[in-house]
Amino acid sequence: MFRTMSAELPHATPGSPVRLQGWVHRRRELATVSFLVVRDRTGLAQVVVKDGADVPPEETTVEVVGLATANPQAPGGIEVTDPVITALTEPAATPPVELWRPTMNASLPTLLDHAPVTWRHPAQRAKWELAAASLRGFRGTLDAAGFTEIQTPKFVASATESGANVFQVDYFGRPAYLAQSPQFYKQQMVGVFERVYEVGPVFRAEPHDTVRHLAEYVSLDAELGFIEDHRDVLRVLREVLAGMVAAIHEYAAPAVALTGARVPVVPEEIPVIHFRDALALVGAAADELDLAPEHERALGAWALTEHGSDFLAVEGYPMAKRPFYTHPWSRQARPTEEDRWSNSFDLLFRGLELVTGGQRLHRPSAYDEAIRARGEDPADYASYLQAFEHGMPPHGGFAIGLERWTARLVEAANVREVTLFPRDLHRLTP
């Protein structure tokens, strides 16, 4: 007999035999009747249990063969009666939290210490379903726009390539480092495919214990060639976000309902403000080089009021705070006063930084100059600079942090709440 998923049960013909498989979600003994609620990947099903029948404890996996029976009070109008219940494993140990309660009443450390079990809670699991649907939307949008998926190495030869806060590995007896981003490699691959994306782990030896930083997170990277400037990058980013939102609605509607996620509307055009104007707007000093969190929040509120948008791009961040490969503001042959600004942006989502992006340098002479200006030796970047010496187009790209995106959707205070197995300064298990 084929398996009936709990979501299909409401469509079963009353009186027909059905076979459920899943977890004992809950046992309920009422005065006149006892129920077993079975949980599978599609939802919950109600089974009416005979008096005195032996039902295994919560979380034990079971198979239930019985009859589909109409009952207006059952979820979906159909329950299973006359069940034969077979345990598929030994009686499960009592879970660290009661997974059958609509809301889990557990501290963050409990959630994380028992992740293999606590993720089973329908409302918890739904958070990751939003993430998985987002990944699908990210890739689908870029596939349709002529991007090629790449997979680039996580082992890199030098710490300079990755910057500060880098993890060192014993690589066959010599040091190697874990890539902090696929930045160098995605740029090189623009020379091959013009348009590339990668979804994968990045590693940051982040010594600060904050609600927004992890030692390992999932980065959604894209990079494209033959652009005019960073505004072209922002237009692609807009399409990608719209695709992620559409995928959430298409593939994760039940998860939206379960989590109460506030899925944004992505405006046709994301409003843009120059960094200089952003400083003025929030009343910060004109020589500030970065936006403080309270400034970002104020800008987010402004974007919502002024443009009705959950998103705001702040362009023109000071070159002094951007990586050496960042393209300056001016497209003139000789530098101008405007070149203290960059062709880069941060995208704020509800007042928090979600994405960093922008145009990169593409002329080999510009790289040579930029690296020397930082007191470094271009020879240390030889393998990266190959691509530019052999001809690269104007290009740019962006990176979205998956956990930050999901955290904002469900308004989680801490990115750890939406990370399957977070890694940080203190946590390396489970």
Write out the binding residues for a copy of itself, residues 183-222 only, by CB under 8 A.
Answer: 185, 188-189, 191-195, 199-201, 203, 205, 207, 215-216, 218
CB of 9 to a copy of itself, least distance (A): 16
Contact 401, 217 (CB under 8 A): yes
Query: Do the strands 272-274 and 311-315 form a parallel or antiparallel pair, or are they unpaired?
Result: parallel
**CA distance linking residue 29 with residue 36, whole number of Å:** 9
CB of 56 to a copy of itself, least distance (A): 9
- Within residues 102-121, the interface with a copy of itself by CB under 8 A covers 114-117, 119-120
CB of 207 to a copy of itself, least distance (A): 7
- Does residue 144 touch a copy of itself according to CB under 8 A? no
* Token pair 């902090």: residue: 180
The size of the interface with a copy of itself (CB under 8 A), counted in residues, is: 94
**CA distance linking residue 372 with residue 412, whole number of Å:** 42
Max intra-chain CA distance, the chain: 87
Closest C-alpha among 78, 106, 97, 109 to residue 9: 78
CB of 232 to a copy of itself, least distance (A): 11
3-class state of residue 50 by DSSP:
coil
Angle, helices 183-193 vs 382-389, to 10°: value is 30
Of 150, 222, 299, 407, the residue at the interface with a copy of itself (CB under 8 A) is 150
- Does residue 324 touch a copy of itself according to CB under 8 A? no
Closest C-alpha among 309, 312, 287 to residue 299: 312
Nearer to a copy of itself among residue 62 and residue 282 (C-beta):
62
Contact 162, 384 (CB under 8 A): no
- Within residues 357-386, the interface with a copy of itself by CB under 8 A covers 362-365, 383-384, 386
Nearer to a copy of itself among residue 70 and residue 382 (C-beta):
382
Binding mask 257-276 for a copy of itself (x = CB under 8 A): --------------------
As given in the structure block, the two tokens for residue 270 are: 């994301």
Nearer to a copy of itself among residue 63 and residue 353 (C-beta):
63
* Token pair 């403000």: residue: 273
Closest C-alpha among 261, 293, 297 to residue 406: 261
3-state secondary structure 345-408: EEEEECCEEEEEEEEECCCHHHHHHHHHHCCCCHHHHHHHHHHHHCCCCCEEEEEEEHHHHHHH
Closest C-alpha among 125, 127, 347 to residue 233: 347
As given in the structure block, the two tokens for residue 117 are: 């079990």
CB of 218 to a copy of itself, least distance (A): 5
State the Cα torsion 330-331-335-339 to the nearest 10°: 20
Contact 78, 24 (CB under 8 A): no
- Does residue 156 touch a copy of itself according to CB under 8 A? yes
- Within residues 396-415, the interface with a copy of itself by CB under 8 A covers 402
- Within residues 59-98, the interface with a copy of itself by CB under 8 A covers 59-61, 88-90, 92-93, 95
**CA distance linking residue 100 with residue 96, whole number of Å:** 12
- Within residues 16-55, the interface with a copy of itself by CB under 8 A covers 21, 23-24, 40-42
- Does residue 171 touch a copy of itself according to CB under 8 A? yes
CB of 196 to a copy of itself, least distance (A): 9
- Within residues 332-361, the interface with a copy of itself by CB under 8 A covers none
CB of 169 to a copy of itself, least distance (A): 5
Nearer to a copy of itself among residue 335 and residue 393 (C-beta):
393
CB of 244 to a copy of itself, least distance (A): 13
Of 139, 322, 404, 416, the residue at the interface with a copy of itself (CB under 8 A) is 139
- Does residue 254 touch a copy of itself according to CB under 8 A? no
* Token pair 């393209």: residue: 327
CB of 88 to a copy of itself, least distance (A): 6
- Does residue 289 touch a copy of itself according to CB under 8 A? no
Instruction: Tell me which amino acid residue 155 is.
Output: F
CB of 24 to a copy of itself, least distance (A): 8
- Does residue 165 touch a copy of itself according to CB under 8 A? no
Q: Which stretch binds a copy of itself (CB under 8 A): 169-177, 286-294, 313-321, 344-352?
A: 169-177
